[in-house]
Amino acid sequence: MRLTWVTAVFVLLGLGAAHAQTPERVASRLLIEQMGGPLGIAEEASVPPMAPLAIDILKHFEGWVPNAYNDPVGYCTIGYGHLIALNRCEQIQLGSFAAGLSEADGALLLEGDTLGARAAVQELVIVALTDEQFGALSDFVYNVGRRNFERSTLLELLNMGEYALAAAELRRWVRARGRILPGLVTRRACEESLFDGRLTYDIYGRFDRAACVSLGIADDVGPLIDVELGEDAN
């Protein structure tokens, strides 16, 4: 079938929309919080980086879309889940994002976007963390937000030195908009596996999400939590 140029444009525009409708991701609660005002983020030079495997987990579950698109709730988004505005793309001036992003630029943007998550882990966790634990928690906070993390049983247990119980709490954060999202279930499995030191790159040096699923996180640890509402809503 031949495509007219008009049809081709709609096909290209639909790529971002199709990605946004998958059960893989919801908008970063951390970035939504930061849209609402400053959170007292520390200087980047004083905040540790995320381990490469943690960044690859985040990239995988946020997905890569080089052009601006509207996520399922109508937030204008680009790159690795970067939140442009709490409005639809057609309602705002896209500015420098109108031309899209290179993957290298998207990675730089993500580095800045994760700063708030990394700072939250550094500031709120009072026990020692491995690089893998720090990275897993940073990915989690990027997804669920600083406020939800600060009020969580997970953080309370962790700061009591209950590492295993804290890691198991990740399994509860798998709902969004009232539904259990398969992407969140797998993302939490990857974070827990990384936190526990069980997750590594495959023999080709790549992140493989199947390794997270095979480790299993099916145990019942408490009522499931909506990442958009937080534990207080339970």
Q: Please report, for the chain, the start and end positions of each structural domain, with discontinuous segments joined by +.
A: 5-51+62-114, 116-233
62 is catalytic: yes
Name the active-site residue from 33, 43, 62, 156: 62
Per-residue pLDDT of the chain (234 residues; tens, 9 = 90+): 343 433 333 333 434 443 444 446 789 999 999 886 555 455 555 899 999 999 999 999 999 999 999 988 889 999 999 999 999 999 999 999 999 999 999 999 999 999 999 999 999 999 999 999 999 999 999 999 999 999 999 999 999 999 999 999 999 999 998 888 889 999 999 999 999 999 999 999 999 998 887 665 555 678 899 999 999 877
Question: Which residues 6+ apart lie within 8 Å of 69 measured at CB?
Answer: 13, 15, 16, 17, 19, 20, 76, 77, 78, 89
Give this prediction's pTM: 0.86
Helices 103-113 and 52-62, interaxial angle, to 10°?
A: 110
CATH code for 116-233? 1.10.530.40
pLDDT value for 15: 40
pLDDT value for 44: 58
Could you give the CA distance from residue 21 to residue 69 in angstroms, rounded to a whole number?
11
Residue-level length of the chain:
234
pLDDT value for 118: 96
pLDDT value for 106: 95
pLDDT value for 177: 84
